[in-house]
Amino acid sequence: MLRKLYISFICLLCAGQAIRAQTGVFIPPGANVMAHRADTVSIFSNVTNQGRFGSATGSAVLFYGGLWSNTDEALLPEERFYDPALPPGGGVFRFMQPLTGEGRQTIFGGYNSATGIGASFPNLYINNPSGVQLADLSDLRIRYNLHFESGHLYLNGWDVAVGGEPTGRSSITGYTSRRFIVTGTSPYGGYLYLYNVNAATGEVVFPIGTGTDSYTPLALRYNGRRADNFRVRVFDNVYANAQTGSRLEGNLVPKTWQILQNGIPNGDSIAVSLQHNAADQNTGFTGNIDSSFISRYSPVSGWDTVPRTGFSQPGTLTTGNPLRQAYMHSRTLSATPGGTFLSLFALKVPEAPGFEVSLIFDAIRRDVRQVQATWLTMRERDVQHFELERRLEHENDFRAIAVLPTQSPTGNSNVNRQYQFMDDNYYGDMSYYRLKTISRNGDSTYSPIRSVPGNFKITASPNPNRGQFTITLSGVRNLLRMDVIDIKGKVIYTTKITGTNMSVNVANAAVGVYFLVFYDTDNNNVIVDRQKIEIIK
């Protein structure tokens, strides 16, 4: 009896009337609900769908609630679910701005992109200026059409998939620089999937961006005869190892696009177009944009360098008016199992005829006793060697501390080459490094100057000793505390270090190995050094 009463209530959907409920709309397992052709249904509360929430072609479900949740068993069928002879279609589920005011809506899609199993909407429209976000622990799938009218779709670390039906009919429409899919800024996160892409599909656009003000879409044209599934995302910054390693600076657009292909390519190619905004590029890229190109990352050789392809303007990867302040780059790639990472680089215009180097220089402190200077060249032409120069804070001039020959036997290279030098730098104040590149004809150019904070050194001597030794500090500005700890982890002695030389007496300690642990008391007792001593008698 309860089930019959419930079904009678929920069939208000069929009459095109509004549902207003304090506790939300609940479709229980086994229940069948259908919005019929030409029906318009408005729902003002949350929805939990565990059964079948169907919709016929021509119907519209207007959702004003905060959360739409599909369970794993839920379905959102169309007419052909009941009669396979009917053409594909289904109604439109339009997410609207809640009548209570501004607010982002949430979808728990009930789909798993990894297995390809779960619920899917036939057509989903975004019409909420505040946007719609994916709930945790669930992906979202739309069988036919994802359409943007107002607002963004936020992946929130999860995936959205479009297509996947045997008919192959699917699309994303209505996207512009003001309404698109937001993937997030992190190197790891959610993807936009497009299913069943092949040569006959033509160009497909992935309308994505890292944030609401950074629309950076990707378009691809796949020449494979067999349909395949692609997933794409974009994140902020460019890293030495694509998703890890040091953040690269220099003449680039600090965005990285990732393309993953489901199948195994068989000599197929992908024509890719990347679009970015003028506000996204750094000054080095802007000044050398005529020498720009799409760079592809290789796990073996890193980011590659190809002939300068230049750019086109305005940006056309939009369903609205062309974007005058957007730039587009294109490149044809060989399809690679496991996917690829892409970014945008620009080669610096050479300062002397016949001499060119495009490099990224950084200086990174590896530990308390050494500085690791690293630089990455993306292109070398007529390079002979590099000179690493250093200036200490109290010095007036730079001086060369290392000379490294080019790794290119001819002095010419179009692939990434990485160089490094370990500098034993014990200086207690600021140090400054710069890189000088020397050409084969004697011309030279300098990199920007990189600064490295001061160093410090702590020594305990003599070692071994008879329980009496001296602690010597160099370059230490904060107050330190030292604990003497035995092999069992017990603190047998503690003291504050005063001055640059301090005598310690633990003559009563037993013979054995002890550990000296130094804490920075001015910086929340952070451990700054550990040493081992041996007490003998």
Least confident piece of the model among 192-206, 212-226, 411-425, 483-497:
411-425
Which pLDDT score is estimated for 331?
93
Which pLDDT score is estimated for 355?
63
> pLDDT grade, residue 369 (50/70/90)?
low
Q: For residue 187, what are its two tokens?
A: 């190197």
Residue that the structure tokens 């794993």 belong to: 72
Write out the E strands in 113-251: 117-118, 121-127, 132-134, 140-150, 153-154, 160-162, 171-173, 181-182, 192-197, 204-206, 208-211, 214-215, 218-222, 228-236
Query: What strands lie across the sheet with 356-365, from one edge to the other?
Result: 356-365, 371-381, 417-423
Q: What residue type is assigned to position 115 of the chain?
A: T
Least confident piece of the model among 77-91, 267-281, 342-356, 438-452:
342-356
Q: Is a pLDDT exceeding 80 seen at residue 17?
A: no
Q: Mind listing the pLDDT tens digit for each residue in 524-533? A: 676 777 899 9
Q: Is a pLDDT exceeding 90 seen at residue 288?
A: no
How far CA 162 is from CA of 143, 395, 475, in Å, comes to 6, 62, 60
Distance CA 134, CA 192 (A): 12
Number of Cβ within 10 Å of residue 114's Cβ equals 7
- Spatial CB neighbours of 301, under 8 Å, sequence gap ≥ 6: 415, 416
> pLDDT grade, residue 6 (50/70/90)?
very low
CB of 256 within 8 A of CB of 238?
Answer: yes
CB of 251 within 8 A of CB of 348?
Answer: yes
Query: What strands lie across the sheet with 105-108, from one edge to the other?
Result: 25-27, 47-49, 67-70, 105-108, 132-134, 153-154, 181-182, 208-211, 214-215
Q: Mind listing the pLDDT tens digit for each residue in 144-188? A: 999 999 999 999 999 999 999 887 789 999 999 999 999 999 999
Which pLDDT score is estimated for 410?
75
Mean pLDDT of the chain: 87
> pLDDT grade, residue 48 (50/70/90)?
very high
Residue that the structure tokens 């197929």 belong to: 268
Size of the chain, expressed as the number of residues it contains: 537
Mean pLDDT over 22-48 rounds to 89
Q: Is a pLDDT exceeding 80 seen at residue 18?
A: no
Number of Cβ within 10 Å of residue 475's Cβ equals 15
Closest residue by Cα to residue 323 from 463, 175, 185: 175
Q: What is the pTM of this model?
A: 0.65
What's the burial of 379, exposed, middle or buried (CB within 10 Å: 0-12/13-18/19+)?
A: buried
Residue 490 sits at φ, ψ, to 5 deg, of: -90, 135
Distance CA 112, CA 190 (A): 12
Q: Is a pLDDT exceeding 50 seen at residue 332?
A: yes
The percent of residues in the chain predicted with pLDDT above 70, rounded, is 91
Closest residue by Cα to residue 184 from 220, 219, 204, 157: 157
Which pLDDT score is estimated for 266?
72
Which pLDDT score is estimated for 267?
73
Q: Is a pLDDT exceeding 50 seen at residue 1?
A: no
Distance CA 469, CA 282 (A): 54
Which pLDDT score is estimated for 308?
73
Q: Is a pLDDT exceeding 60 seen at residue 129?
A: yes
Q: For residue 175, what are its two tokens?
A: 């996207």
Dihedral (C-alpha) 244, 247, 251, 253: value to the nearest 10 degrees? 70
Q: Mind listing the pLDDT tens digit for each residue in 196-226? A: 998 889 999 999 999 999 999 999 999 888 8
> pLDDT grade, residue 464 (50/70/90)?
very high
Distance CA 424, CA 183 (A): 43
